[in-house]
Structure 1
Amino acid sequence: MQSIEGAAARPAAPSGLRERKKRRTRDTLIRSALELFSRKGYERTTVDEIAEAAEVSQRTFFRYFANKEEVALAIQSAVDALFLAALRSRPAAEAPLPALREAVLDTWDGARAVIEAVVPLELHMRTYGLIESTPQLLAARLRSLSEVEEGLALEIARREGLDPHADPRPHVLVAAFGGVMRVTTRAWGERGEGGLDDLRELTVAYLDQLGPALAENWRT
Protein backbone atom coordinates (compact mmCIF):
# COMPACT_ATOMS: atom_id res chain seq x y z
CA MET A 1 0.00 0.00 0.00
CA GLN A 2 1.42 3.39 -0.97
CA SER A 3 2.12 5.77 1.87
CA ILE A 4 0.51 9.16 2.16
CA GLU A 5 3.97 10.68 1.85
CA GLY A 6 4.56 8.80 -1.40
CA ALA A 7 1.23 9.89 -2.81
CA ALA A 8 1.88 13.47 -1.82
CA ALA A 9 5.30 13.35 -3.47
CA ARG A 10 3.83 12.42 -6.84
CA PRO A 11 3.66 15.40 -9.16
CA ALA A 12 0.15 16.55 -9.99
CA ALA A 13 -1.05 15.98 -13.54
CA PRO A 14 -0.64 19.09 -15.69
CA SER A 15 -3.82 21.12 -15.90
CA GLY A 16 -3.92 20.71 -19.70
CA LEU A 17 -3.86 16.93 -19.35
CA ARG A 18 -6.61 17.03 -16.72
CA GLU A 19 -8.77 19.17 -18.96
CA ARG A 20 -8.27 16.79 -21.89
CA LYS A 21 -9.25 13.83 -19.72
CA LYS A 22 -12.35 15.67 -18.51
CA ARG A 23 -13.26 16.53 -22.10
CA ARG A 24 -12.84 12.91 -23.19
CA THR A 25 -15.03 11.71 -20.33
CA ARG A 26 -17.72 14.26 -21.13
CA ASP A 27 -17.66 13.42 -24.83
CA THR A 28 -17.85 9.70 -24.06
CA LEU A 29 -20.90 10.27 -21.88
CA ILE A 30 -22.60 12.27 -24.63
CA ARG A 31 -21.84 9.68 -27.29
CA SER A 32 -22.94 6.79 -25.07
CA ALA A 33 -26.17 8.57 -24.12
CA LEU A 34 -27.12 9.49 -27.68
CA GLU A 35 -26.41 5.97 -28.91
CA LEU A 36 -28.63 4.53 -26.17
CA PHE A 37 -31.38 7.08 -26.78
CA SER A 38 -31.32 6.27 -30.48
CA ARG A 39 -31.46 2.52 -29.87
CA LYS A 40 -33.77 2.25 -26.82
CA GLY A 41 -35.60 5.56 -26.74
CA TYR A 42 -35.14 8.46 -24.34
CA GLU A 43 -37.64 7.40 -21.69
CA ARG A 44 -36.42 3.79 -21.52
CA THR A 45 -32.77 4.75 -21.07
CA THR A 46 -31.50 5.23 -17.52
CA VAL A 47 -28.58 7.22 -16.18
CA ASP A 48 -27.10 3.97 -14.86
CA GLU A 49 -27.11 2.54 -18.39
CA ILE A 50 -25.41 5.64 -19.78
CA ALA A 51 -22.74 5.51 -17.10
CA GLU A 52 -22.18 1.79 -17.67
CA ALA A 53 -21.85 2.28 -21.42
CA ALA A 54 -19.32 5.06 -20.83
CA GLU A 55 -17.49 2.89 -18.26
CA VAL A 56 -17.85 5.43 -15.47
CA SER A 57 -19.85 5.60 -12.26
CA GLN A 58 -23.24 7.23 -11.86
CA ARG A 59 -21.51 9.74 -9.60
CA THR A 60 -19.19 10.67 -12.46
CA PHE A 61 -22.16 11.18 -14.78
CA PHE A 62 -23.64 13.73 -12.37
CA ARG A 63 -20.33 15.60 -12.20
CA TYR A 64 -20.83 16.47 -15.85
CA PHE A 65 -24.61 16.58 -16.35
CA ALA A 66 -27.52 17.42 -14.09
CA ASN A 67 -29.88 14.96 -15.78
CA LYS A 68 -30.70 13.11 -19.02
CA GLU A 69 -32.16 16.22 -20.62
CA GLU A 70 -28.86 18.04 -20.33
CA VAL A 71 -26.81 15.28 -21.92
CA ALA A 72 -29.39 14.82 -24.68
CA LEU A 73 -29.16 18.51 -25.60
CA ALA A 74 -25.41 18.88 -25.13
CA ILE A 75 -24.56 19.06 -28.84
CA GLN A 76 -27.35 21.54 -29.54
CA SER A 77 -26.06 23.68 -26.67
CA ALA A 78 -22.56 23.64 -28.18
CA VAL A 79 -23.95 24.80 -31.55
CA ASP A 80 -25.97 27.53 -29.78
CA ALA A 81 -22.76 28.77 -28.14
CA LEU A 82 -21.11 28.79 -31.55
CA PHE A 83 -23.94 30.97 -32.90
CA LEU A 84 -23.61 33.55 -30.12
CA ALA A 85 -19.83 33.63 -30.57
CA ALA A 86 -20.30 34.11 -34.32
CA LEU A 87 -22.62 37.07 -33.71
CA ARG A 88 -20.12 38.65 -31.34
CA SER A 89 -17.42 38.39 -34.01
CA ARG A 90 -19.43 40.15 -36.75
CA PRO A 91 -18.20 43.61 -37.83
CA ALA A 92 -19.46 46.36 -35.52
CA ALA A 93 -20.82 48.43 -38.43
CA GLU A 94 -23.00 45.57 -39.70
CA ALA A 95 -26.74 46.13 -39.27
CA PRO A 96 -28.58 43.79 -36.86
CA LEU A 97 -30.45 41.56 -39.32
CA PRO A 98 -27.47 41.02 -41.68
CA ALA A 99 -25.31 40.32 -38.63
CA LEU A 100 -27.73 37.62 -37.43
CA ARG A 101 -27.98 36.16 -40.92
CA GLU A 102 -24.22 35.95 -41.45
CA ALA A 103 -23.68 34.66 -37.91
CA VAL A 104 -26.06 31.75 -38.40
CA LEU A 105 -24.47 30.88 -41.75
CA ASP A 106 -21.03 31.01 -40.12
CA THR A 107 -22.44 28.70 -37.45
CA TRP A 108 -23.59 26.10 -39.97
CA ASP A 109 -20.16 26.31 -41.64
CA GLY A 110 -18.45 25.51 -38.34
CA ALA A 111 -21.04 23.19 -36.79
CA ARG A 112 -19.84 20.04 -38.53
CA ALA A 113 -16.45 20.18 -36.79
CA VAL A 114 -18.09 20.85 -33.40
CA ILE A 115 -20.50 17.93 -33.82
CA GLU A 116 -18.06 15.42 -35.30
CA ALA A 117 -15.55 16.12 -32.53
CA VAL A 118 -18.01 14.35 -30.23
CA VAL A 119 -20.39 12.13 -32.23
CA PRO A 120 -20.86 10.99 -35.84
CA LEU A 121 -22.94 13.45 -37.82
CA GLU A 122 -25.51 10.75 -38.60
CA LEU A 123 -26.08 10.16 -34.87
CA HIS A 124 -26.58 13.88 -34.36
CA MET A 125 -29.22 13.89 -37.10
CA ARG A 126 -31.06 11.01 -35.43
CA THR A 127 -30.91 12.85 -32.11
CA TYR A 128 -32.52 15.90 -33.68
CA GLY A 129 -35.45 13.74 -34.73
CA LEU A 130 -35.60 12.24 -31.24
CA ILE A 131 -35.81 15.70 -29.66
CA GLU A 132 -38.61 16.74 -31.99
CA SER A 133 -40.62 13.57 -31.23
CA THR A 134 -40.07 13.47 -27.44
CA PRO A 135 -42.30 15.99 -25.59
CA GLN A 136 -40.00 16.28 -22.57
CA LEU A 137 -36.95 16.95 -24.73
CA LEU A 138 -38.80 19.29 -27.06
CA ALA A 139 -40.01 21.35 -24.11
CA ALA A 140 -36.47 21.48 -22.72
CA ARG A 141 -35.11 22.51 -26.12
CA LEU A 142 -37.65 25.32 -26.42
CA ARG A 143 -36.64 26.57 -22.97
CA SER A 144 -32.99 26.57 -23.97
CA LEU A 145 -33.80 28.40 -27.21
CA SER A 146 -35.56 31.08 -25.18
CA GLU A 147 -32.34 31.60 -23.23
CA VAL A 148 -30.32 31.69 -26.47
CA GLU A 149 -32.65 34.32 -27.94
CA GLU A 150 -32.29 36.45 -24.82
CA GLY A 151 -28.51 36.31 -25.21
CA LEU A 152 -28.78 37.26 -28.88
CA ALA A 153 -31.09 40.19 -28.11
CA LEU A 154 -28.72 41.49 -25.44
CA GLU A 155 -25.82 41.23 -27.88
CA ILE A 156 -27.75 43.12 -30.58
CA ALA A 157 -28.59 45.82 -28.02
CA ARG A 158 -24.93 46.08 -26.99
CA ARG A 159 -23.80 46.36 -30.60
CA GLU A 160 -26.34 49.11 -31.29
CA GLY A 161 -25.78 50.97 -28.03
CA LEU A 162 -29.36 50.40 -26.87
CA ASP A 163 -30.97 49.75 -23.51
CA PRO A 164 -32.75 46.40 -24.10
CA HIS A 165 -35.16 47.15 -21.25
CA ALA A 166 -36.27 50.45 -22.79
CA ASP A 167 -36.04 49.65 -26.50
CA PRO A 168 -37.97 46.55 -27.65
CA ARG A 169 -36.39 46.35 -31.09
CA PRO A 170 -33.58 43.87 -30.25
CA HIS A 171 -36.06 41.41 -28.72
CA VAL A 172 -38.58 41.88 -31.53
CA LEU A 173 -35.95 41.30 -34.20
CA VAL A 174 -34.52 38.23 -32.49
CA ALA A 175 -38.02 36.82 -31.93
CA ALA A 176 -38.76 37.14 -35.66
CA PHE A 177 -35.39 35.71 -36.59
CA GLY A 178 -35.76 32.85 -34.11
CA GLY A 179 -39.18 32.04 -35.54
CA VAL A 180 -37.69 31.74 -39.02
CA MET A 181 -34.97 29.45 -37.70
CA ARG A 182 -37.48 27.19 -35.95
CA VAL A 183 -39.59 26.94 -39.11
CA THR A 184 -36.43 26.18 -41.10
CA THR A 185 -35.16 23.43 -38.82
CA ARG A 186 -38.63 21.90 -38.53
CA ALA A 187 -38.98 21.76 -42.31
CA TRP A 188 -35.48 20.30 -42.59
CA GLY A 189 -36.23 17.66 -39.95
CA GLU A 190 -39.50 16.67 -41.61
CA ARG A 191 -37.64 15.81 -44.77
CA GLY A 192 -35.99 12.96 -42.88
CA GLU A 193 -32.81 13.23 -44.92
CA GLY A 194 -30.10 15.68 -45.83
CA GLY A 195 -27.14 16.97 -43.90
CA LEU A 196 -25.86 20.29 -42.66
CA ASP A 197 -25.26 21.57 -46.18
CA ASP A 198 -28.97 21.09 -46.90
CA LEU A 199 -29.84 22.86 -43.66
CA ARG A 200 -27.61 25.77 -44.62
CA GLU A 201 -29.27 26.08 -48.04
CA LEU A 202 -32.73 25.92 -46.49
CA THR A 203 -31.72 28.56 -43.95
CA VAL A 204 -30.70 30.93 -46.74
CA ALA A 205 -33.96 30.31 -48.61
CA TYR A 206 -36.15 30.91 -45.54
CA LEU A 207 -34.24 33.97 -44.33
CA ASP A 208 -34.67 35.47 -47.78
CA GLN A 209 -38.42 35.34 -47.12
CA LEU A 210 -38.24 37.32 -43.88
CA GLY A 211 -38.30 40.74 -45.56
CA PRO A 212 -41.14 39.89 -47.99
CA ALA A 213 -43.12 38.26 -45.16
CA LEU A 214 -42.98 41.51 -43.18
CA ALA A 215 -44.14 43.60 -46.14
CA GLU A 216 -47.43 45.39 -45.64
CA ASN A 217 -49.10 43.96 -48.74
CA TRP A 218 -48.39 40.40 -49.87
CA ARG A 219 -50.49 40.79 -53.02
CA THR A 220 -48.30 43.27 -54.84
Structure 2
Amino acid sequence: MSPQARRDDLIRAALDLFGSRAPELVTVDDIVACAEVSRPLFYRYFSSLRELQVEALRTVTDGLIDRLAGLEEGPPPERLRAAVRGLIDVADSYRAGYIALLRSGSVIATSETNAAIDRVRNRAVELILDALGVTEPSPLLLLTLRCWTAVVEGTLLSWLQEGAVPREDLDGWLVDQLAAMLAATAAHDPTVPVVAAAQ
Protein backbone atom coordinates (compact mmCIF):
# COMPACT_ATOMS: atom_id res chain seq x y z
CA MET A 1 0.00 0.00 0.00
CA SER A 2 1.39 3.42 -0.97
CA PRO A 3 2.00 6.03 1.75
CA GLN A 4 -0.96 8.11 0.54
CA ALA A 5 -3.21 5.05 0.40
CA ARG A 6 -2.19 4.09 3.95
CA ARG A 7 -2.83 7.63 5.16
CA ASP A 8 -6.26 7.61 3.49
CA ASP A 9 -6.98 4.23 5.07
CA LEU A 10 -6.29 5.63 8.55
CA ILE A 11 -8.59 8.58 7.83
CA ARG A 12 -11.32 6.19 6.66
CA ALA A 13 -10.89 4.14 9.83
CA ALA A 14 -11.29 7.28 11.95
CA LEU A 15 -14.44 8.31 10.05
CA ASP A 16 -15.87 4.79 10.44
CA LEU A 17 -15.32 5.05 14.19
CA PHE A 18 -16.87 8.51 14.26
CA GLY A 19 -20.03 6.81 13.06
CA SER A 20 -20.43 5.09 16.41
CA ARG A 21 -18.95 7.59 18.87
CA ALA A 22 -17.91 11.21 19.16
CA PRO A 23 -14.48 11.96 17.60
CA GLU A 24 -13.06 13.09 20.95
CA LEU A 25 -13.80 9.62 22.35
CA VAL A 26 -11.87 7.79 19.61
CA THR A 27 -8.31 6.86 20.62
CA VAL A 28 -5.19 5.99 18.64
CA ASP A 29 -5.61 2.39 19.81
CA ASP A 30 -9.15 2.34 18.40
CA ILE A 31 -7.95 3.64 15.04
CA VAL A 32 -4.99 1.26 14.65
CA ALA A 33 -7.22 -1.68 15.62
CA CYS A 34 -9.83 -0.66 13.05
CA ALA A 35 -7.20 -0.11 10.33
CA GLU A 36 -5.28 -3.25 11.40
CA VAL A 37 -1.94 -1.45 11.69
CA SER A 38 0.55 -0.82 14.47
CA ARG A 39 0.86 2.29 16.64
CA PRO A 40 4.34 3.07 15.19
CA LEU A 41 2.85 3.01 11.69
CA PHE A 42 0.12 5.40 12.78
CA TYR A 43 2.75 7.89 13.98
CA ARG A 44 4.63 7.56 10.71
CA TYR A 45 1.69 9.26 9.00
CA PHE A 46 0.27 11.49 11.73
CA SER A 47 2.18 13.36 14.41
CA SER A 48 -0.76 13.22 16.80
CA LEU A 49 -4.35 12.11 17.23
CA ARG A 50 -5.41 15.77 16.84
CA GLU A 51 -3.80 15.92 13.37
CA LEU A 52 -5.76 12.86 12.26
CA GLN A 53 -8.99 14.27 13.70
CA VAL A 54 -8.53 17.51 11.75
CA GLU A 55 -7.69 15.63 8.55
CA ALA A 56 -10.74 13.40 8.95
CA LEU A 57 -13.00 16.40 9.47
CA ARG A 58 -11.43 18.13 6.47
CA THR A 59 -12.46 15.07 4.45
CA VAL A 60 -16.06 15.89 5.39
CA THR A 61 -15.77 19.52 4.29
CA ASP A 62 -13.99 18.51 1.07
CA GLY A 63 -16.89 16.16 0.38
CA LEU A 64 -19.34 19.00 0.89
CA ILE A 65 -17.32 21.27 -1.45
CA ASP A 66 -17.13 18.51 -4.08
CA ARG A 67 -20.91 18.04 -4.02
CA LEU A 68 -21.34 21.77 -4.60
CA ALA A 69 -18.72 21.93 -7.35
CA GLY A 70 -20.68 20.74 -10.35
CA LEU A 71 -24.43 20.89 -10.41
CA GLU A 72 -26.99 20.26 -13.10
CA GLU A 73 -28.42 23.07 -15.20
CA GLY A 74 -32.03 24.07 -14.87
CA PRO A 75 -34.29 26.52 -13.05
CA PRO A 76 -32.96 27.90 -9.73
CA PRO A 77 -35.26 25.83 -7.47
CA GLU A 78 -34.16 22.57 -9.09
CA ARG A 79 -30.47 23.49 -8.98
CA LEU A 80 -30.80 24.47 -5.33
CA ARG A 81 -32.66 21.27 -4.47
CA ALA A 82 -29.87 19.27 -6.14
CA ALA A 83 -27.29 21.17 -4.07
CA VAL A 84 -29.19 20.56 -0.83
CA ARG A 85 -29.61 16.85 -1.67
CA GLY A 86 -25.83 16.66 -2.17
CA LEU A 87 -25.22 18.26 1.22
CA ILE A 88 -27.67 15.87 2.87
CA ASP A 89 -25.91 12.89 1.26
CA VAL A 90 -22.47 13.97 2.51
CA ALA A 91 -23.73 14.87 5.98
CA ASP A 92 -25.44 11.47 6.22
CA SER A 93 -22.35 9.61 4.98
CA TYR A 94 -20.12 11.28 7.55
CA ARG A 95 -22.80 11.64 10.22
CA ALA A 96 -20.66 11.81 13.38
CA GLY A 97 -17.89 13.76 11.66
CA TYR A 98 -20.38 16.33 10.38
CA ILE A 99 -21.94 16.70 13.83
CA ALA A 100 -18.50 17.09 15.42
CA LEU A 101 -17.48 19.63 12.79
CA LEU A 102 -20.43 21.92 13.38
CA ARG A 103 -21.32 21.24 16.99
CA SER A 104 -20.84 24.27 19.20
CA GLY A 105 -18.00 23.75 21.64
CA SER A 106 -16.61 20.61 19.98
CA VAL A 107 -13.13 19.85 21.30
CA ILE A 108 -12.16 19.01 17.71
CA ALA A 109 -12.93 22.53 16.49
CA THR A 110 -9.84 24.52 15.49
CA SER A 111 -9.14 27.62 13.44
CA GLU A 112 -8.28 25.21 10.61
CA THR A 113 -11.59 23.35 10.72
CA ASN A 114 -13.45 26.65 11.12
CA ALA A 115 -11.76 27.91 7.95
CA ALA A 116 -12.83 24.72 6.16
CA ILE A 117 -16.43 25.26 7.26
CA ASP A 118 -16.27 28.83 5.98
CA ARG A 119 -15.15 27.49 2.58
CA VAL A 120 -18.31 25.36 2.42
CA ARG A 121 -20.51 28.30 3.43
CA ASN A 122 -18.88 30.63 0.89
CA ARG A 123 -19.25 28.03 -1.87
CA ALA A 124 -22.94 27.63 -1.03
CA VAL A 125 -23.47 31.40 -1.31
CA GLU A 126 -21.60 31.47 -4.65
CA LEU A 127 -23.78 28.64 -5.92
CA ILE A 128 -27.02 30.43 -5.04
CA LEU A 129 -25.83 33.69 -6.62
CA ASP A 130 -24.95 31.79 -9.78
CA ALA A 131 -28.33 30.04 -9.83
CA LEU A 132 -30.05 33.42 -9.41
CA GLY A 133 -27.89 35.05 -12.09
CA VAL A 134 -26.63 37.70 -9.66
CA THR A 135 -23.07 38.99 -10.15
CA GLU A 136 -23.17 42.00 -7.79
CA PRO A 137 -25.23 41.06 -4.72
CA SER A 138 -26.46 43.75 -2.39
CA PRO A 139 -25.47 43.62 1.30
CA LEU A 140 -29.01 42.53 2.24
CA LEU A 141 -28.94 39.70 -0.28
CA LEU A 142 -25.58 38.44 1.01
CA LEU A 143 -26.86 38.61 4.57
CA THR A 144 -29.96 36.65 3.58
CA LEU A 145 -27.93 33.91 1.89
CA ARG A 146 -25.54 33.61 4.81
CA CYS A 147 -28.49 33.31 7.18
CA TRP A 148 -29.95 30.56 4.98
CA THR A 149 -26.72 28.55 5.07
CA ALA A 150 -27.02 28.68 8.88
CA VAL A 151 -30.59 27.37 8.55
CA VAL A 152 -29.31 24.48 6.39
CA GLU A 153 -26.55 23.62 8.88
CA GLY A 154 -28.92 23.74 11.85
CA THR A 155 -31.49 21.65 10.01
CA LEU A 156 -28.97 18.97 9.06
CA LEU A 157 -27.59 18.81 12.60
CA SER A 158 -31.08 18.36 14.05
CA TRP A 159 -32.01 15.83 11.38
CA LEU A 160 -28.86 13.76 11.93
CA GLN A 161 -29.36 13.74 15.68
CA GLU A 162 -33.14 13.33 15.82
CA GLY A 163 -34.32 12.13 12.40
CA ALA A 164 -37.79 13.54 13.06
CA VAL A 165 -38.36 14.73 9.46
CA PRO A 166 -38.31 12.27 6.53
CA ARG A 167 -35.18 12.70 4.42
CA GLU A 168 -37.17 13.09 1.20
CA ASP A 169 -38.91 16.19 2.62
CA LEU A 170 -35.76 18.09 3.59
CA ASP A 171 -34.52 19.48 0.28
CA GLY A 172 -37.85 20.94 -0.87
CA TRP A 173 -38.54 22.42 2.56
CA LEU A 174 -35.12 24.07 2.72
CA VAL A 175 -35.48 25.57 -0.75
CA ASP A 176 -38.93 26.86 0.26
CA GLN A 177 -37.26 28.48 3.27
CA LEU A 178 -34.83 30.26 0.94
CA ALA A 179 -37.67 31.38 -1.32
CA ALA A 180 -39.49 32.86 1.68
CA MET A 181 -36.36 34.59 2.94
CA LEU A 182 -35.64 36.07 -0.50
CA ALA A 183 -39.23 37.31 -0.77
CA ALA A 184 -38.96 39.00 2.62
CA THR A 185 -35.64 40.60 1.65
CA ALA A 186 -37.03 41.75 -1.71
CA ALA A 187 -39.68 43.73 0.16
CA HIS A 188 -36.83 45.82 1.59
CA ASP A 189 -34.48 45.69 -1.41
CA PRO A 190 -36.06 45.65 -4.88
CA THR A 191 -32.79 44.49 -6.49
CA VAL A 192 -33.14 41.09 -4.79
CA PRO A 193 -34.50 38.36 -7.11
CA VAL A 194 -37.06 35.88 -5.86
CA VAL A 195 -37.36 32.19 -6.64
CA ALA A 196 -40.43 30.02 -6.89
CA ALA A 197 -41.12 27.59 -4.10
CA ALA A 198 -40.04 24.00 -4.71
CA GLN A 199 -42.61 21.73 -6.29
Residues 130-157 of structure 1, C-alpha deviation per residue, up to 9 Å, x if partnerless? 5537623356655422221223434555
Distance across 1 between alignment mates of 2:149 and 2:28: 32
Which residue among 67, 71, 82 is the counterpart of 1:83?
A: 67
- RMSD, aligned CA: 4.2
**In the alignment, what sits opposite 1:177?**
148
**In the alignment, what sits opposite 1:211?**
179
Q: Go from structure 1 to structure 2 and tell me whether the alpha carbon gap of 1:23 and 1:200 turns closer, same or farther (over 3 Å shift).
A: farther
Q: Go from structure 1 to structure 2 and tell me whether the alpha carbon gap of 1:149 and 1:61 turns closer, same or farther (over 3 Å shift).
A: same
Q: Does 1:191 align with 2:194?
A: no
Q: Does 1:146 align with 2:118?
A: yes
User: Matched residue of 1:136: which SS?
Assistant: coil
Residues 123-180 of structure 1, C-alpha deviation per residue, up to 9 Å, x if partnerless? x33444455376233566554222212234345556747257xx54773353133122
Are the equivalent residues in 1 in contact too, given 2:11–2:52 (CA < 8 A)? no
Structure 1: which 5+ residue stretches go unaligned? 1-17, 116-120
Residues 175-220 of structure 1, C-alpha deviation per residue, up to 9 Å, x if partnerless? 13312211321220231588xxx4453232233233335555xxxx
User: Matched residue of 2:159: which SS?
Assistant: helix
User: Matched residue of 2:46: which SS?
Assistant: helix
Which residue among 125, 132, 146 is the counterpart of 2:95?
A: 125
**TM-score scaled by structure 2?**
0.60
**In the alignment, what sits opposite 1:58?**
43
Deviation at 1:104, TM superposition (A): 2.3
Distance across 2 between alignment mates of 1:158 and 1:210: 15
Query: How many pairs were matched up?
Result: 176
Moved more, 31-40 or 147-156: 31-40
Structure 2: which 5+ residue stretches go unaligned? 185-199
Distance across 2 between alignment mates of 1:180 and 1:40: 25
Distance across 2 between alignment mates of 1:153 and 1:209: 15
Distance across 2 between alignment mates of 1:136 and 1:180: 23
Q: Does 1:43 align with 2:24?
A: yes
**In the alignment, what sits opposite 2:10?**
29
Kindly indicate whether structure 1 or structure 2 has the higher relative contact order, using CA contacts under 8 Å at least 6 residues apart: 2
Distance across 2 between alignment mates of 1:45 and 1:106: 27
Tell me the percent identity.
Answer: 24
Are the equivalent residues in 2 in contact too, given 1:38–1:130 (CA < 8 A)? no
Q: Go from structure 1 to structure 2 and tell me whether the alpha carbon gap of 1:192 and 1:212 turns closer, same or farther (over 3 Å shift).
A: closer
Distance across 2 between alignment mates of 1:192 and 1:149: 23
Q: Go from structure 1 to structure 2 and tell me whether the alpha carbon gap of 1:48 and 1:186 turns closer, same or farther (over 3 Å shift).
A: closer
Q: Go from structure 1 to structure 2 and tell me whether the alpha carbon gap of 1:100 and 1:142 turns closer, same or farther (over 3 Å shift).
A: farther
Are the equivalent residues in 2 in contact too, given 1:34–1:72 (CA < 8 A)? yes
